[in-house]
Amino acid sequence: MIRILSISFLLIYQLYAAKLHFTTHQLKGNILGSTLLVIGGIHGNEPGGYFAAAILTLHYQIKKGQLIVVPNLNFDSIIRNRRGIYGDMNRKFANISKNDPDYHIIKDIKSIILRPDVDFILNLHDGHGFYRKEWQNAIFNPSAWGQACIIDQKCIETKKYGNLDAIAQKITKNLNQDLVKNHHSFNVKNTKTKFKDEQMRLSLTYFAITHGKPAMAIETSKNLEKTYEKVYYQLRAIEEFMKFMKIEFTRDFDLNLQTIQKILTTYYTAVLNDLTPLNLDHLRKRLNFVPMKKDDNHLQAKHPLAAIKKNGSFYDLMVGNIRISQFKPEIISHNKCLESVEIVVDKKLQNINIPASLSVKESFKVNAPKDIRVNVIGYTKPGLLNENSITIKMKELLPKYSLDKEQKSYRIEFYKDKDYCGMININIK
């Protein structure tokens, strides 16, 4: 009976749980100081917020104080470019059913918000229009949310950072000193949540302030044409908060539109199902016969917004709301049956771990165990079913089978009986 109940609970958990959970990135300086929690992606169709948060995890270093970043809170919705596929996540902080797919996400982010070391919370959004205190037109008006610091009330009772209005006024003043265009100016929007906005009483920031945690939202405008413009303003706002909180930081790039645009098209590397290495920056838009499992495929990636999602009989490889590639899967059982393999690279013997990437100038020869079948995708020789112990010249590889658009990367796949054992990428020097 106990065993049956356990299985039933597992099935219910799988049925109601979101497929992708958020990740938490802690950037801590060597000197103690304040802690800022930055949350991106509570709404999956607001890329300015979640791409800015992702850049924090990839390109910022903290010298004093601490930055905690959740770049992908509503991950299932982010990779589908939808506000909330299970409903509005930002309306679930007062009450949420255990049967709600977002239940575990809300429970876990609440525990982070309430950590004793968290001093301030920023929730990153993209909002419609440009907030203005006075009506100007349908885009610039008091009902708009974009280009604003959103506070729920002027002050809260706390030891530090309780004067939300004064802090927001200071941040917006600094932001407005350097705008791409004059009409991009920021303002402070006080929703007066407790008395005027019933829906906002269900939000993340209201949950935070009613539990003694200073919090506000940063909203860049959805009317800004380019994602990199939204990201630029989000990063500038976050930096202003860090400066205000005396969190000392460095970054490995110059903060301008051109650099942000370039960073947003850099996706780094990943490993599919622990066996298949991928360079996301150069993948073809479509790859055929990619070894994948029947269920529970997963991606380990440097970029916190990288994930795969099922799309009919295909799989989409996503970074945020951007599809990097699409895979036609070859469903096969996966087995880590080969930890490493000897390869003669340009006449020099090397022992290469699996998965891995390898640079080759002229030729290579795989010396795998006899029970391993080696398949070099792009190499063909009539009657040859196993490319083990065969010297292959790079110029013999057919370009149409390359992994990348530049036709410089190819795959060596390893099999044992009916199992897929992993892959090594070989790249032309």
Please list the pLDDT of the chain residue by residue as tens digits (429 residues). 233 333 333 333 344 678 999 999 999 999 999 999 999 999 999 999 999 999 999 999 999 999 999 999 999 999 999 999 999 999 999 999 999 999 999 999 999 999 999 999 999 999 999 999 999 999 999 999 999 999 999 999 999 999 999 999 999 999 999 999 999 999 999 999 999 989 999 999 999 999 999 999 999 999 999 999 999 999 999 999 999 999 999 999 999 999 999 999 999 999 999 999 999 999 999 999 999 999 999 999 999 999 999 999 999 999 999 999 999 999 999 999 999 999 999 999 999 999 999 999 999 999 999 999 999 999 999 889 999 999 999 999 999 999 999 999 999 999 999 999 999 999 999
Q: How far apart are CA 401 and CA 288, in angstroms?
A: 9
- What's the confidence (pLDDT) of residue 183? 97
Q: Which of 126, 256, 138, 131 is nearest to 185 (CA)?
A: 131
101 within domain boundaries: yes
Same domain, 71 and 55: yes
Contact between 18 and 82 (Cβ < 8 Å): no
Same domain, 299 and 389: no
Same domain, 58 and 170: yes
Beta-carbon contacts of 181 under 8 Å, excluding residues fewer than 6 positions away, are none
DSSP bridge pairs for 309: 316
Same domain, 62 and 146: yes
Domain containing residue 304: 271-331
- What's the confidence (pLDDT) of residue 344? 98
100 within domain boundaries: yes
Give the CATH number, domain containing residue 96. 3.40.630.10
282 within domain boundaries: yes
**Total number of domains in the chain:** 3
6 within domain boundaries: no
Same domain, 51 and 163: yes
Same domain, 211 and 96: yes
Same domain, 381 and 242: no
- What's the confidence (pLDDT) of residue 360? 97
Question: How many helices (DSSP H) and strands (DSSP E) are in the chain?
Answer: 9, 26
Domain end residue (candidates: 208, 229, 264): 264
13 within domain boundaries: no
140 within domain boundaries: yes
- What's the confidence (pLDDT) of residue 150? 98
Same domain, 215 and 116: yes
User: What are the angstrom distances between the C-alpha of 380 and each of 86, 123, 368?
Assistant: 48, 54, 19
- What's the confidence (pLDDT) of residue 16? 62
Same domain, 162 and 247: yes
- What's the confidence (pLDDT) of residue 6? 34
Same domain, 303 and 350: no
Degrees (nearest 5) of the Cα angle 27, 29, 30? 145
Q: How far apart are CA 19 and CA 283, in angstroms?
A: 25
**Tokens 């469903």 map to which residue?**
331
9 within domain boundaries: no
- DSSP H or E segment with residue 314: strand 314-319
